[in-house]
Chain A
Amino acid sequence: MSAGLVASGVRRMFPAGGGVESADLAMRPGEIVALVGLNGAGKTTLMRLLLGMLRAESGRVELDGVPLERLPGSTWAAVGHLVDAPLVYPELTTRTALELNARLRGAGRGVVEAALQDFGLTEYAGRRIRALSLGNRQRVGLAAALQHRPQVIVLDEPTNGLDPAGVIALREQLLARRDDGAAVLVSSHHLDEVARTADRIVVLNAGRLIGELAPHSAGLESMFFEMLLRDDEVRA
């Protein structure tokens, strides 16, 4: 059983402003954690720190109990992520793009057909990525991140560009992966969508994790803004 992805006191601030001031976050197996915050709060930076895309100035990130800097490369095969832009190339077809992602993650090409079906991409399998709509490109990116059945999943604003059917397909996939024991972290602006899938909602404000919200509580939106307001007042 995976021990998940854990950040302890990670900090990475940028000279021009913004970043993560300090964050402790644990992604546990069998749990969907939603990361919410306003634009510029540091959600993407925190996800990049968790995935080794950025090095922390202080603090540490561990995957299955091993610090990222000492992690054997093969361990990353258990991770699936989509942060910012997907690893797809406009000149490749949908099927080839998924096959490339599968190979780079140590999975066989056999996972591709199931991924095409799961994300409603079968009819676009032979079409080049450059010819796909924004929403379908996002579906390809999500399929690429999830097709190899990762035990740790990190998705930054995964519903961007998705139509309602795509949102439902993603929701079903995330819930199924959670039930299979995966540790999932999803950032989002959509509190109503988050409430449908998350087991925990953590709130990030100006680079700091300031608390948690219960996903099924009434008035989630107003609670979110009250939490931000209180934090801004304390800082002021």
Chain B
Amino acid sequence: MRPALWGESLKLAASLVGRVATVAVVVGIVVLSSAMLVAARSGNTQVVAKLGPDGTPDWHGFLAAATQITAAGGLAGFAIVLAWMFGREFADGAVNGLFALPVSRRTIAAAKLLTFAAWGALVSAALPVVLGATGVALGLGTPGATELAGLARLTVLGLAGLVLATPVAWAATLGRSVLAGVGVGIGLIVVAQVSVLAGAGGWMPLAAPALWAMTAGRGATLGQVLLVLPFGAIWVVLTLGAWRRLQVR
């Protein structure tokens, strides 16, 4: 496992995809949330009306915007990285080189998932830190217990997004392309949004983390959020099995 983990982490750290996704998820969410805050502060009644009841020029509005953006944008960023990690070798033919090695393809796939999880956890941990510092810098004052809890929920939302993106690994493997994974990633975001609108609520694993984070736990329970774990486990097992049975066509 160690050679595969070393290789996967090296590739992700050296790649443009990994660097861009890291900046896009952390800095992108902070910049967009800050833009919402500036808009709320503008006093323009039309803009404030568009932002809705959560569009207040304070920590509440700032974190509400960040949570909404993270729910969709974070999942999109994770899906793109995972699609690239699992689809790239099919695109450039390097998949041939992953056969006839002492390290099995199942182990290589597991190393990809572990590397992705470690990267995503770092991103999820960095996001509230950068966001909190930005809020202070923008003059929102020192965050209190409520704000710190909101920032912590962002980390949980990011971690849940990591798990929710796992079908992308399976799709990129079966579709043998990065685009197949990205397509499924977009599908996951659409299904999550539609299921919230359709009232599926907390029992829909794709929607529960966002509902929980945006309503401070009133829209979904932590138990419902934890349903993402068996959801992700299914796709991890399917992905590892697909890599074990893999053939070159």
Report the bound CA distance from A77 to B16 in whole Å.
Answer: 31
Q: Which residue of A lies closest to B2 (CB)?
A: A103
Instruction: Return the contact of A92 from the options B14, B92, B104 (Cβ within 8 A).
Output: B14
A interface size (C-beta, 8 A)? 32
Q: How far is the CB of B200 from chain A (nearest CB, A)?
A: 40
Q: Which residue of A lies closest to B97 (CB)?
A: A87
Residue with the greatest number of chain B CB neighbours at <10 A, chosen from A81, A84, A91:
A91
Q: CB-CB < 8 A to B2: which residues of A?
A: 103
Asked, given contacts A74-B102, A76-B102, A85-B92, whether A92 binds B248 with beta carbons under 8 Å apart, the answer is no
Report B121-174 residues with CB < 8 Å from chain A CB: none
Chain A, 75-115, contact with B by CB distance < 8 Å: what is the 0/1 string?
Answer: 11101011111111111100010001101111000000000
Asked, given contacts A55-B247, A85-B94, whether A100 binds B10 with beta carbons under 8 Å apart, the answer is yes
Report A59-82 residues with CB < 8 Å from chain B CB: 73-77, 79, 81-82
Report the bound CA distance from A52 to B2 in whole Å.
Answer: 23
Report the bound CA distance from A89 to B17 in whole Å.
Answer: 13
Q: CB-CB < 8 A to A75: which residues of B?
A: 102
Tell whether, in the assembled complex, residue B16 and residue A91 are in contact, meaning their CB atoms are under 8 Å apart: yes
Tell whether, in the assembled complex, residue B94 and residue A88 are in contact, meaning their CB atoms are under 8 Å apart: yes
B7 within 8 A of A: yes
Tell whether, in the assembled complex, residue B97 and residue A85 are in contact, meaning their CB atoms are under 8 Å apart: yes
A48 within 8 A of B: yes
B interface size (C-beta, 8 A)? 24
A54 within 8 A of B: yes
B179 within 8 A of A: no
Tell whether, in the assembled complex, residue A92 and residue B11 are in contact, meaning their CB atoms are under 8 Å apart: yes
A34 within 8 A of B: no
Tell whether, in the assembled complex, residue A52 and residue B99 are in contact, meaning their CB atoms are under 8 Å apart: yes
Chain B, 70-114, contact with A by CB distance < 8 Å: what is the 0/1 string?
Answer: 000000000000000000000011101111111110000000000
Report the bound CA distance from A103 to B11 in whole Å.
Answer: 14
Tell whether, in the assembled complex, residue A104 and residue B247 are in contact, meaning their CB atoms are under 8 Å apart: no
Interface of B: prevailing SS: helix
B4 within 8 A of A: yes
Report the bound CA distance from A145 to B7 in whole Å.
Answer: 17
Tell whether, in the assembled complex, residue A104 and residue B101 are in contact, meaning their CB atoms are under 8 Å apart: yes
Report the bound CA distance from A90 to B94 in whole Å.
Answer: 11
Q: CB-CB < 8 A to B4: which residues of A?
A: 104
Report the bound CA distance from A106 to B104 in whole Å.
Answer: 12
Q: How far is the CB of A51 from chain B (nearest CB, A)?
A: 4
Q: CB-CB < 8 A to B199: which residues of A?
A: none
Tell whether, in the assembled complex, residue A104 and residue B96 are in contact, meaning their CB atoms are under 8 Å apart: no
A53 within 8 A of B: yes
Q: How far is the CB of A9 from chain B (nearest CB, A)?
A: 19
Q: How far is the CB of B4 from chain A (nearest CB, A)?
A: 7
Tell whether, in the assembled complex, residue B102 and residue A87 are in contact, meaning their CB atoms are under 8 Å apart: no
Q: CB-CB < 8 A to B100: which residues of A?
A: 51-53, 76, 79, 81
Q: CB-CB < 8 A to A89: which residues of B?
A: 11, 94
Asked, given contacts A53-B96, A53-B248, A55-B247, whether A104 binds B10 with beta carbons under 8 Å apart, the answer is no
Q: CB-CB < 8 A to A86: which residues of B?
A: 94, 97
Report the bound CA distance from A82 to B93 in whole Å.
Answer: 11
Tell whether, in the assembled complex, residue A105 and residue B10 are in contact, meaning their CB atoms are under 8 Å apart: no
Q: CB-CB < 8 A to B45: which residues of A?
A: none
11 more A-B residue pairs beyond the given contacts A74-B102, A88-B97, with a C-beta to C-beta distance below 8 A = A75-B102, A81-B100, A84-B96, A86-B97, A87-B96, A91-B14, A96-B10, A100-B3, A100-B10, A106-B3, A144-B97
Nearest 10 interchain pairs by C-beta: A87-B97, A85-B93, A103-B3, A91-B14, A53-B248, A51-B100, A53-B99, A84-B96, A77-B102, A100-B7
Which B positions have Cβ atoms within 8 angstroms of A? 2-4, 6-7, 10-11, 14-16, 92-94, 96-104, 247-248
